[in-house]
């Protein structure tokens, strides 16, 4: 299939709506700091969760701006379980006090990969604040997800977060994108 053909392939409105609703529900769970609910209802057991580091390169280099060796996060279902479990303890110092977040998910594009998998690309703007200050973090990214239908529910099988930033202006990345 050519690039032009993939641009014109439309998915059923019901499928697109189901994927958008999954992303909205996931954002709500994370914004409400319901990490257990997020982990238990949104993630597939063979999950890959990647946030590669972005570098600045000349346009003519032909090399991706995103590293394949260095990551802000490179997690699996098991390592995310450890992160979630730690967030629920008093030892998550980066999240004490907890961040107040608001995720805005837009520009959702859905493409069928097979009978039970879809590729979902979306844009994410995340506002994050802590403490009682006027300071805040604003993170902007494209997310490239693969969702899989498991027991008639969508689950996140793979996520690659492509940050707009080469340097993060946040003191830590103790939240999920």
In the DSSP assignment, the letter for residue 172 is -
125, 99 Cβ separation under 8 angstroms: no
pLDDT in tens, 15-27: 999 999 999 999 9
Q: What is the pLDDT of residue 8?
A: 54
Token duo for residue 171: 């003191």
Q: Say yes or no to pLDDT of 172 above 80.
A: no
Q: What is the pTM of this model?
A: 0.87
- DSSP annotation string for 87-148: HTSTT-GGGSSPPEEEEEEEEEEEEE-SSSEEEEEEEEEEEEE-TTSS--EEEEEEEEEEEE
């Amino acid at each position: 299939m050519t690039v032009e053909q993939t641009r014109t392939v439309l998915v059923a409105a019901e499928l697109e709506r189901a994927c958008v609703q999954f992303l909205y529900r996931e954002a709500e769970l994370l914004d409400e700091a319901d990490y257990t609910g997020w982990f238990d209802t949104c993630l597939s057991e063979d999950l890959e969760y990647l946030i590669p580091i972005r570098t600045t390169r000349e346009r003519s280099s032909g090399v991706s701006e995103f590293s394949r060796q260095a990551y802000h996060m490179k997690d699996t279902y098991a390592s995310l379980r450890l992160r979630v479990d730690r967030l629920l303890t008093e030892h998550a110092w980066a999240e004490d006090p907890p961040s107040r977040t608001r995720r805005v998910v837009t520009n959702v594009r859905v493409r069928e990969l097979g009978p039970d998998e879809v590729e979902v690309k979306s844009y994410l703007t995340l506002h994050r604040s802590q403490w009682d200050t006027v300071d805040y973090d604003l993170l902007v990214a494209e997310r490239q997800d693969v969702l899989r239908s498991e027991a008639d529910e969508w689950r996140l099988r793979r996520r690659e977060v492509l940050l707009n930033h080469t340097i993060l202006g946040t003191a830590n990345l103790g939240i999920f994108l």
